[in-house]
Amino acid sequence: METEIKLDASHLSQPRELLQDAWLISLEIPGKRNTLVMDSRYYDTADSRLASSACSLRLRRENEQHILSLKGGGSVEKGLYRRAEWSVPLTAAEAGLFMLQPDIKKARHFLSDAWVACGMPGISDRRIQDQPLTQIACVTFTRQLTYLRYRNTLVELALDQGTLSAALRTAPLCEIELELKQGDVADLIALGRELASRFSLKPQNASKLARCLALAAFRPMP
Protein backbone atom coordinates (compact mmCIF):
# COMPACT_ATOMS: atom_id res chain seq x y z
CA MET A 1 0.00 0.00 0.00
CA GLU A 2 1.37 3.37 -1.08
CA THR A 3 0.63 6.36 1.18
CA GLU A 4 1.80 9.76 0.00
CA ILE A 5 0.98 13.45 -0.18
CA LYS A 6 1.28 15.45 -3.39
CA LEU A 7 1.70 19.24 -3.27
CA ASP A 8 1.58 21.59 -6.25
CA ALA A 9 4.82 23.59 -6.45
CA SER A 10 4.26 25.06 -9.92
CA HIS A 11 4.04 28.63 -8.61
CA LEU A 12 7.58 28.60 -7.15
CA SER A 13 10.07 30.56 -9.25
CA GLN A 14 13.02 28.55 -7.91
CA PRO A 15 11.60 25.24 -6.63
CA ARG A 16 15.01 23.75 -5.79
CA GLU A 17 15.62 26.50 -3.25
CA LEU A 18 13.02 24.77 -1.09
CA LEU A 19 15.53 21.95 -0.56
CA GLN A 20 17.99 24.45 0.90
CA ASP A 21 15.59 25.71 3.56
CA ALA A 22 17.15 25.52 7.04
CA TRP A 23 14.02 24.05 8.64
CA LEU A 24 13.81 21.25 6.07
CA ILE A 25 17.54 20.53 6.34
CA SER A 26 17.13 20.18 10.12
CA LEU A 27 14.78 17.23 9.45
CA GLU A 28 16.98 15.63 6.81
CA ILE A 29 18.87 12.37 7.24
CA PRO A 30 22.46 13.24 6.18
CA GLY A 31 23.91 11.58 3.10
CA LYS A 32 20.57 10.48 1.66
CA ARG A 33 20.12 13.03 -1.13
CA ASN A 34 19.92 11.69 -4.65
CA THR A 35 18.95 12.79 -8.17
CA LEU A 36 17.02 10.51 -10.51
CA VAL A 37 16.32 11.06 -14.21
CA MET A 38 12.95 9.41 -14.75
CA ASP A 39 10.31 8.70 -17.33
CA SER A 40 6.97 7.04 -16.71
CA ARG A 41 5.01 5.44 -19.55
CA TYR A 42 1.36 4.55 -18.92
CA TYR A 43 -0.59 1.82 -20.73
CA ASP A 44 -4.25 0.89 -21.16
CA THR A 45 -6.59 -0.83 -23.57
CA ALA A 46 -8.21 1.13 -26.42
CA ASP A 47 -11.47 1.34 -24.47
CA SER A 48 -9.73 2.36 -21.20
CA ARG A 49 -10.52 -0.79 -19.23
CA LEU A 50 -7.79 -0.19 -16.69
CA ALA A 51 -8.84 3.42 -16.11
CA SER A 52 -12.49 2.39 -15.75
CA SER A 53 -11.38 0.04 -12.95
CA ALA A 54 -9.47 2.92 -11.28
CA CYS A 55 -6.16 1.24 -12.14
CA SER A 56 -3.00 2.33 -13.89
CA LEU A 57 -0.20 0.32 -15.49
CA ARG A 58 3.15 2.14 -15.52
CA LEU A 59 6.61 1.35 -16.85
CA ARG A 60 9.09 3.65 -15.11
CA ARG A 61 12.77 4.22 -15.74
CA GLU A 62 14.75 5.52 -12.75
CA ASN A 63 18.24 6.29 -14.04
CA GLU A 64 19.25 2.79 -15.23
CA GLN A 65 16.56 0.83 -13.39
CA HIS A 66 13.22 -0.21 -14.93
CA ILE A 67 10.09 -0.98 -12.88
CA LEU A 68 6.65 -2.16 -14.02
CA SER A 69 3.87 -1.19 -11.59
CA LEU A 70 0.13 -1.59 -11.23
CA LYS A 71 -1.70 0.87 -8.99
CA GLY A 72 -5.36 0.91 -8.06
CA GLY A 73 -8.12 1.30 -5.53
CA GLY A 74 -7.63 3.50 -2.52
CA SER A 75 -8.59 7.14 -2.12
CA VAL A 76 -7.42 10.72 -2.58
CA GLU A 77 -8.33 13.51 -0.15
CA LYS A 78 -6.64 16.90 0.18
CA GLY A 79 -3.56 15.63 -1.64
CA LEU A 80 -3.26 12.45 0.48
CA TYR A 81 -3.12 9.32 -1.71
CA ARG A 82 -3.65 5.79 -0.41
CA ARG A 83 -3.42 3.17 -3.15
CA ALA A 84 -2.55 -0.47 -3.59
CA GLU A 85 0.66 -0.90 -5.58
CA TRP A 86 2.36 -3.97 -7.01
CA SER A 87 5.75 -3.68 -8.75
CA VAL A 88 8.33 -5.88 -10.44
CA PRO A 89 11.81 -4.93 -11.73
CA LEU A 90 12.60 -5.45 -15.42
CA THR A 91 15.93 -5.67 -17.17
CA ALA A 92 16.72 -3.03 -19.79
CA ALA A 93 16.07 -5.65 -22.48
CA GLU A 94 12.69 -6.60 -20.98
CA ALA A 95 11.70 -2.93 -20.68
CA GLY A 96 12.65 -2.31 -24.30
CA LEU A 97 10.62 -5.31 -25.44
CA PHE A 98 7.65 -4.18 -23.36
CA MET A 99 7.68 -0.73 -24.99
CA LEU A 100 7.66 -2.39 -28.42
CA GLN A 101 5.17 -5.09 -27.49
CA PRO A 102 3.23 -4.38 -24.25
CA ASP A 103 1.29 -7.65 -24.57
CA ILE A 104 4.30 -9.87 -23.94
CA LYS A 105 3.56 -12.91 -21.80
CA LYS A 106 5.56 -11.62 -18.80
CA ALA A 107 3.37 -8.50 -18.62
CA ARG A 108 0.21 -10.61 -18.70
CA HIS A 109 1.50 -12.81 -15.88
CA PHE A 110 2.44 -9.69 -13.93
CA LEU A 111 -1.06 -8.24 -14.27
CA SER A 112 -2.66 -11.51 -13.24
CA ASP A 113 -0.50 -11.71 -10.11
CA ALA A 114 -0.98 -8.01 -9.34
CA TRP A 115 -4.80 -8.20 -9.25
CA VAL A 116 -4.52 -10.83 -6.53
CA ALA A 117 -1.68 -9.18 -4.61
CA CYS A 118 -3.36 -5.78 -4.51
CA GLY A 119 -6.69 -7.30 -3.47
CA MET A 120 -8.69 -4.90 -5.63
CA PRO A 121 -12.37 -5.90 -5.42
CA GLY A 122 -14.27 -6.44 -8.63
CA ILE A 123 -11.18 -6.41 -10.80
CA SER A 124 -10.11 -9.40 -12.84
CA ASP A 125 -7.34 -9.86 -15.36
CA ARG A 126 -10.04 -11.41 -17.59
CA ARG A 127 -11.29 -7.86 -18.23
CA ILE A 128 -8.23 -7.15 -20.34
CA GLN A 129 -7.45 -10.65 -21.52
CA ASP A 130 -6.76 -10.59 -25.28
CA GLN A 131 -7.23 -6.80 -25.31
CA PRO A 132 -4.19 -5.02 -26.81
CA LEU A 133 -2.36 -2.61 -24.53
CA THR A 134 -1.04 0.69 -25.85
CA GLN A 135 0.87 3.64 -24.43
CA ILE A 136 -1.51 6.45 -23.49
CA ALA A 137 0.75 8.96 -21.72
CA CYS A 138 4.33 9.73 -20.76
CA VAL A 139 5.87 11.83 -17.98
CA THR A 140 9.55 12.78 -18.15
CA PHE A 141 11.11 14.47 -15.14
CA THR A 142 14.04 14.91 -12.80
CA ARG A 143 13.51 13.90 -9.18
CA GLN A 144 15.46 15.55 -6.36
CA LEU A 145 15.18 13.05 -3.53
CA THR A 146 15.88 13.14 0.20
CA TYR A 147 14.67 11.51 3.44
CA LEU A 148 13.27 13.29 6.47
CA ARG A 149 12.76 12.22 10.06
CA TYR A 150 9.65 13.99 11.35
CA ARG A 151 8.80 13.10 14.93
CA ASN A 152 9.12 9.29 14.84
CA THR A 153 8.22 8.92 11.17
CA LEU A 154 10.45 8.39 8.12
CA VAL A 155 9.32 10.27 5.00
CA GLU A 156 10.72 10.34 1.49
CA LEU A 157 10.56 13.84 -0.01
CA ALA A 158 10.77 14.20 -3.78
CA LEU A 159 10.78 17.35 -5.89
CA ASP A 160 9.63 16.41 -9.40
CA GLN A 161 10.18 18.79 -12.33
CA GLY A 162 9.51 17.91 -15.94
CA THR A 163 6.84 17.47 -18.60
CA LEU A 164 3.47 15.73 -18.85
CA SER A 165 2.68 14.36 -22.34
CA ALA A 166 -0.40 12.81 -23.93
CA ALA A 167 -2.02 12.92 -27.37
CA LEU A 168 0.82 15.11 -28.72
CA ARG A 169 0.09 17.73 -26.05
CA THR A 170 2.39 18.74 -23.20
CA ALA A 171 2.25 20.62 -19.92
CA PRO A 172 4.87 21.44 -17.27
CA LEU A 173 5.22 19.38 -14.09
CA CYS A 174 6.41 20.74 -10.75
CA GLU A 175 5.32 19.07 -7.53
CA ILE A 176 6.43 17.81 -4.14
CA GLU A 177 5.73 14.23 -3.07
CA LEU A 178 5.94 13.09 0.55
CA GLU A 179 5.80 9.30 0.82
CA LEU A 180 5.39 7.46 4.11
CA LYS A 181 8.23 4.96 4.49
CA GLN A 182 7.91 4.06 8.16
CA GLY A 183 5.82 5.40 11.03
CA ASP A 184 2.52 7.19 11.53
CA VAL A 185 0.33 8.58 8.74
CA ALA A 186 -0.73 11.35 11.16
CA ASP A 187 2.89 12.56 11.17
CA LEU A 188 2.95 12.48 7.37
CA ILE A 189 -0.17 14.65 7.27
CA ALA A 190 1.25 17.05 9.85
CA LEU A 191 4.49 17.36 7.88
CA GLY A 192 2.54 17.99 4.69
CA ARG A 193 0.53 20.75 6.34
CA GLU A 194 3.63 22.44 7.73
CA LEU A 195 5.45 22.24 4.43
CA ALA A 196 2.40 23.62 2.61
CA SER A 197 2.11 26.48 5.11
CA ARG A 198 5.79 27.44 4.96
CA PHE A 199 5.98 27.50 1.15
CA SER A 200 2.37 28.32 0.18
CA LEU A 201 1.86 24.94 -1.47
CA LYS A 202 -1.57 23.55 -2.34
CA PRO A 203 -2.72 19.91 -2.30
CA GLN A 204 -2.49 18.21 -5.69
CA ASN A 205 -5.54 15.94 -5.97
CA ALA A 206 -4.85 14.74 -9.52
CA SER A 207 -2.21 12.10 -10.20
CA LYS A 208 0.35 12.56 -12.96
CA LEU A 209 -1.64 10.18 -15.16
CA ALA A 210 -4.94 11.98 -14.45
CA ARG A 211 -3.37 15.26 -15.51
CA CYS A 212 -2.07 13.66 -18.70
CA LEU A 213 -5.51 12.29 -19.53
CA ALA A 214 -7.12 15.67 -18.85
CA LEU A 215 -4.52 17.25 -21.11
CA ALA A 216 -5.34 14.78 -23.88
CA ALA A 217 -9.06 15.45 -23.53
CA PHE A 218 -8.72 19.27 -23.30
CA ARG A 219 -10.25 19.08 -19.82
CA PRO A 220 -8.80 21.63 -17.37
CA MET A 221 -8.12 20.20 -13.91
CA PRO A 222 -10.17 21.78 -11.08
Residue 34 lies in a domain: yes
Q: Residue 71: which domain range?
A: 2-216
pLDDT grade for 76, boundaries at 50, 70 and 90: confident
Q: Helices 92-100 and 105-118 meet at what angle, rounded to 10?
A: 100
pLDDT surpasses 60 at 126: no
The pLDDT of residue 116: 59
Residue 222 lies in a domain: no
Residue 163 lies in a domain: yes
Domain tally for the chain? 1
pLDDT surpasses 80 at 105: no
pLDDT surpasses 90 at 1: no
pLDDT surpasses 70 at 103: no
pLDDT grade for 127, boundaries at 50, 70 and 90: low
The pLDDT of residue 122: 45
Mean pLDDT of the chain: 87
pLDDT surpasses 60 at 124: no
Q: Tell me the C-alpha distance between 145 and 162, whole Å.
A: 14
Residue 221 lies in a domain: no
Give the domain CATH number at 43.
Answer: 2.40.320.10
Pairing of strands 65-77, 55-62: antiparallel
The pLDDT of residue 74: 72
Residue 137 lies in a domain: yes
Looking at residue 48, the DSSP 8-state letter turns out to be -
pLDDT grade for 12, boundaries at 50, 70 and 90: very high
Q: Tell me the C-alpha distance between 70 and 55, whole Å.
A: 7
